[in-house]
């Protein structure tokens, strides 16, 4: 069954926390990965691969640059399920 936006956000926050140590509560929809969370491109790719695994979706490399905010990533994953 497809996960809701909140469920994907919670799962993604765990992945971000695992990779960067950022508190899960800080991972909110409107936060920018680079400007607010200070996540660099290599960590971003690690998060993407872990998200693909966790949610069973495919996030193409060329799509990663369009995922500016946490909300962008959550919405992409929700739609791709």
Q: Which residues of this chain interact with another protein, rule CB under 8 A?
A: 40-42, 44-46, 48-49, 61, 64
Query: What is the nearest approach in angstroms of another protein to the Cβ of residue 33?
Result: 13
Of 45 and 78, nearer to another protein (C-beta) is 45
Of 9 and 77, nearer to another protein (C-beta) is 77
Of 19 and 36, nearer to another protein (C-beta) is 19
Query: What is the nearest approach in angstroms of another protein to the Cβ of residue 46?
Result: 6
Query: What is the nearest approach in angstroms of another protein to the Cβ of residue 40?
Result: 7
Q: Which residues contact 78 (CB under 8 A, 6 or more apart)?
A: 2, 3, 4, 5, 8
Please give the C-alpha separations between residue 59 and each of 4, 13, 20, 25, 44, in angstroms, as whole numbers.
18, 17, 20, 24, 12
Please give the C-alpha separations between residue 11 and each of 8, 51, 62, 77, in angstroms, as whole numbers.
5, 8, 23, 11
């Amino acid at each position: 069954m497809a996960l809701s936006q909140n469920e994907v956000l919670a799962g993604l926050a765990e992945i971000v926390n695992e990779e960067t140590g950022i508190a899960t509560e800080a991972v909110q929809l409107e936060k920018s990965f680079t400007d607010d969370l200070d996540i660099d491109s290599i960590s971003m790719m690690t998060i993407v691969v872990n998200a693909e695994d966790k949610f069973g979706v495919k996030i193409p490399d060329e799509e990663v640059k369009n995922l500016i905010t946490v909300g962008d990533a959550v919405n992409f994953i929700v739609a791709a399920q």
